[in-house]
Structure 1
Amino acid sequence: MGEGRRTILITGASAGIGAALARVCAGRGYDLILTARREGPLQSLAEELSAAYGVAIAVIPADLADPDAPVRLVEAITVRGLAVDGLINNAGFSRTTGFLTTDPADHAAMVRVMLSAPVELSRLLLPGMAARGWGRVLNVASLAGQMPATGGDTLYGPIKSFLIKASQGLWLEMQGTGVHVTALCPGYTYTEFHDVNGSREQVSAAYPKWMWMDADRVARIGWDAVEANRPRVTPGVMNNVLAALGGMLPNTMALKMVGGHARRLDRL
């Protein structure tokens, strides 16, 4: 990679917030390691950013639903002689149709990609960051992690809540090491996420346009927060209001609030 430049590993970098974060980091002079399942989009993004910003970019496809993927990914990085100075755990998806009607294999893949893989990659890469006295870990969680869980997509919110808590614990543990840790908690964001799980039409109708944010703005807010060593950041005024309400309302009332939203989506 470029002499004197730091290198950021981004998971789920082929589209959406991951690709937006790659653009933000490349624009600020960081070299990149991009990973996702789809090699083609990664290569296209790498060529675009290398030409635009003159940074070095390595593409290493990986499917983090494979339990062995985190170790193999780090091994592939090491073989290339690269050191990871920053980690963005962004890979994620939701393909649930209700807890009882979703294939257990899809549930297992969600847990591996969004919970196990960030933990494993952090454990594999943080020692090197701490030893070098500089590091950045940005865990892309969700506003859903600050709200009561919703029926139907039963695991998504709890997984993101775990990611927020784990980020806060790491933030405390990394104090004084030069390693910054932040949980990024976006609300509804214009990405491929809702196209992949088939909910684009429903969620677009359920919430007005002013509640949505674009991925580039979310990415800038997230990276600014990890540079400033903030333990958590929730982009958007309305998203912060919703997060506060979710934390202050009595449990039964909060559950009715999110339950009403879920029923509205079902009716659309």
Structure 2
Amino acid sequence: MTANSRTALVTGASAGIGTAFARHLAAQGYSLLLVARRADRLNDLAAELRDTHAVRCDVFAADLTDPAAPAAIVDHATLQGIQIDVLINNAGLSGNTAFTETPWPTLAGEIQLMVTAPTELMHRTAGGMRERGWGRIVNLSSLAAFSPPGASLLYTGIKSYVALVSQSLDMELKPHGVHVTALCPGFTHSEFHDVMGTRDTASKLPGILWQEPDEVVREGWNAVMAGKPVCIPGTVNKIVASGVRPLPVRLQYVLGRTLNPFKNG
């Protein structure tokens, strides 16, 4: 099966890394199912990709803070005859207020968006990938997963979860032709900091710390195709991660795969 007969589901596709993933995959001939809250942006992107690359490009507007969204997305794909071969779990945000001062529905939405929804989407699509003997899953983690936790923020813990569960699922699925990669970018030029309200602070950081979304996507896609369970894009980010972790990521992965007393298969 070639890229021309495969479909990628991309969440958070309306901006930043999500848009870059959509363009990258369309250029390789993948059909696309684009998901985000903003239908107008999705439709504009879909039209661009159809015109530029002559690929099928479907759109489904959904808010992944809604617990019903993952099932609705997969049900829509089934009704449209779309088989999900690639899953890009990209949608995300971060709070910027104190934990105790943030209303619980806001925190619950953050957890739903970046923990429950991507996990459910993996669960709903990975079985089919395994049966067909081919699949690729990229989960957007962060360099924050390798950093000390940030005061008041759920973000570091959430992204650590994403990095670890990606490796656990890669151990299970790789023998069946399905690769799972945690993509862990550092500072990336996108709307993320505008949404967080931290654009002024972020803009003061040295340029060497920043990457463009296209760079992040290129490294992440090459990593998942090569079967690498963790991808930290950019030389500077790799140096930062290696400086704060006691064991290299590769060694942690090997130990987790070989020493787990509860492994199944």
Q: TM-score, normalised by structure 1?
A: 0.89
Partner of 1:220: 218
What CA distance in whole angstroms lies between the structure 2 residues aligned with 1:4 and 1:132? 16
Match status 1:149 vs 2:149: yes
Cα separation, 2, equivalents of 1:162 and 1:107: 16
Mapped pair 1:246 → 2:244: yes
- Asked if the contact 1:96/1:102 (under 8 Å) is kept, the reply is no
Q: CA deviation at 1:96?
A: 2.7
- Given residue 224 of structure 2, which amino acid in structure 1 is its aligned partner? V
Question: What is residue 102 of structure 2 aligned with on the other side?
Answer: 102
1:68 matched residue in structure 2: 68
Matches within 5 A, 1:183-202: 183-202=182-201
Counterpart position of 2:203: 204
Deviations 1:135-167 (A, max 9, x none): 000001100011111113x20011000000000
2:146 partner letter: Q
Does the aligned pair in 1 maintain the 2:141–2:159 contact within 8 Å?
Answer: yes
1:256 corresponds in structure 2 to none
CA distance in 2, matches of 1:97, 1:79: 40
Give me the whole-angstrom Cα distance separating, in 1, the residues matched to 2:121 and 2:82: 15
Task: Note the 1:109-124 alignment, pairs <5 A.
Answer: 109-124=109-124
Supply the AA of the counterpart residue of 1:122. Answer: M
Q: Report deviation, 1:217.
A: 0.7
Which residue type is aligned with residue 104 of structure 1? W
Query: Aligned to 2:236, what secondary structure does the other structure show?
Result: helix
Distance, in Å, in 1 between the alignment partners of 2:105 and 2:241 is 31
Runs (4+) of structure 1 exceeding 2 A deviation are none
Q: Which amino acid aligns with 2:232?
A: T
Q: Distance in 1 between matches of 2:42 and 2:4?
A: 24
Q: Is the 8 A contact 1:142 1:187 kept in 2?
A: yes
Q: CA RMSD in A?
A: 1.4
How far 1:129 moved relative to its partner? Answer: 0.5
Letter of the structure 1 residue corresponding to residue 167 of structure 2: Q
Does the alignment pair 1:23 with 2:23? yes
In structure 1, the gaps of 5 or more residues are 250-268
1-structure distance, mates of 2:50, 2:225:
22
Give, as a single letter, the amino acid of the residue that structure 1 aligns with 2:142: S
Asked if the contact 1:190–1:215 (Cα under 8 Å) also holds between the matched residues in 2, the reply is yes
Letter in 1 for 2:186: G
CA pair 75-151 structure 1, distance change in 2 beyond 3 A:
same
Superposition deviation, residue 248 in structure 1: 3.3
Equivalent residue for 1:172?
A: 171
Q: Which residue of 2 aligns with 1:265?
A: none
**Cα pair 2:95 2:155 within 8 Å, conserved:** no
- How does the TM-score come out when normalised to structure 2? 0.90
Query: Would you say 1:59 and 2:59 are equivalent positions?
Result: yes
- Residues of 2 paired with 1:248 and 1:213: CA distance? 25
Distance of 1:3 and 1:115 partners within structure 2: 28
Q: CA deviation at 1:95?
A: 2.8
Residues 4, 30 of structure 2: 8 Å contact kept: no
Give the Å deviation of 1:103.
2.0
Q: Deviations along 1:217-237, whole A, 9 cap, x unmatched? A: 111111111111110000111
Label 1:128 to 1:185 Cα distance change in 2 as closer, same or farther (>3 A). Answer: same
The percentage of counterpart residues that share the same residue type is 46
Report deviation, 1:3. Answer: 9.9
Change (3 A) 1:204 1:248: farther
Within-5 A mapping of 1:1-12: 5-12=5-12
